[in-house]
Amino acid sequence: MQPCVAFGSLCNSMSSNGYVIDVHDVHKTYKKRIKALQGVDLQVGSGEIFGLLGPNGAGKSTLVKILMTVVRPDKIGGTFLGASVGQKEPLSKVGYLPEHHHFPGYLTGLQVIEFSGAMCGLSKRERRANAGKLLDRVGMTKWGSSRLNSYSKGMLQRVGLAQALVNDPKVVLLDEPTDGVDPVGRREIRDLLLELRDEGHSIFLNSHLLSELEMVCDRVAIMVQGRVSMQGTIDELTKDSKRYEIQVLGPCPAWIESHPGASVESVEAEARISIATDDPEAIQPIIDRLRNEGRSITRVHAVRESLEDLFMRAVVDESGNIAAPGAQIESRRGSGGDAP
Q: How many residues are present in the chain?
A: 340
Contacts of 202 (CB under 8 A, 6+ apart): 20, 21, 44, 45, 46, 47, 48, 49, 50, 170, 171, 172
Strands 202-206 and 49-53: parallel
> Among 106-114, 215-223, 251-259, 286-294, which window interacts with other proteins (CB under 8 A)?
106-114
Q: Does 214 participate in binding other proteins (rule CB under 8 A)?
A: no
d(CA 18, CA 201): 14
The 3-state DSSP class for residue 70 equals: coil
**Identity of the residue, 59 or 246, whose beta carbon is nearer to other proteins in the bound complex:** 59
Chosen residue from 1, 68, 194, 264 binding other proteins by CB under 8 A: 68
Nearest Cα residue to 205 out of 185, 184, 224, 221: 221
Least distance (Å) from other proteins to the CB of residue 244?
46
Rounded CA separation 298/85 (Å): 55
Return the residue of 20, 40, 49, 122 that touches other proteins, per CB under 8 A: 122
Indicate which single residue of 7, 16, 32, 102 sits in contact with other proteins (rule: CB under 8 A): 102
DSSP string, 276-321: --S-GGGGHHHHHHHHHTTPPEEEEEEE---HHHHHHHHHB-TTSP
CB of 100 to other proteins, least distance (A): 5
Is residue 94 helix, strand or coil? Answer: strand
Cβ contact 302:244 at 8 Å:
yes
- We find the least distance from the C-beta atom of residue 179 to other proteins, in angstroms, to be 12
Our CB check for other proteins shows the closer of 121 and 183 to be 121
Among 17, 89, 292, 318, binds other proteins (CB under 8 A): 89
Candidate list 38, 69, 141, 277; residue touching other proteins; CB under 8 A: 69
Binder to other proteins among 25, 33, 38, 107 (CB under 8 A)?
Answer: 107
Looking at residues 159 to 188 of the shown chain, list those that interact with other proteins (rule: CB under 8 A): 163
Phi, psi of 298 (to 5 degrees): -95, -20
Asked if residues 331 and 31 have their Cβ atoms less than 8 Å apart, the reply is no
| 19-27, 107-115, 187-195, 267-275 -> range binding other proteins (CB under 8 A) | 107-115
Q: Kindly write out the interface string for residues 2-41 of this chain, putting x where it contacts other proteins by CB under 8 A and - elsewhere.
A: ----------------------------x-----------
Among 116, 202, 206, 231, binds other proteins (CB under 8 A): 116
Neighbouring C-alpha atoms within 13 Å toward the C-beta of 109 = 29
> Does 121 participate in binding other proteins (rule CB under 8 A)?
yes
Question: Residue count at the site for other proteins (CB under 8 A)?
Answer: 33
Stretch that binds other proteins, among 42-50, 52-60, 63-71, 207-215 (CB under 8 A): 63-71
When binding is defined by CB under 8 A, the residue of 16, 17, 100, 125 that contacts other proteins is: 100
* Burial category of 31 from C-beta neighbours within 10 Å (exposed 0-12, middle 13-18, buried 19 and up): exposed
Query: Can residue 339 be called a binding residue for other proteins (CB under 8 A)?
Result: no
Binding footprint of other proteins on the chain (CB under 8 A): 30, 65, 68-72, 88-92, 94, 96, 98-104, 106-107, 111, 115-116, 118-123, 163
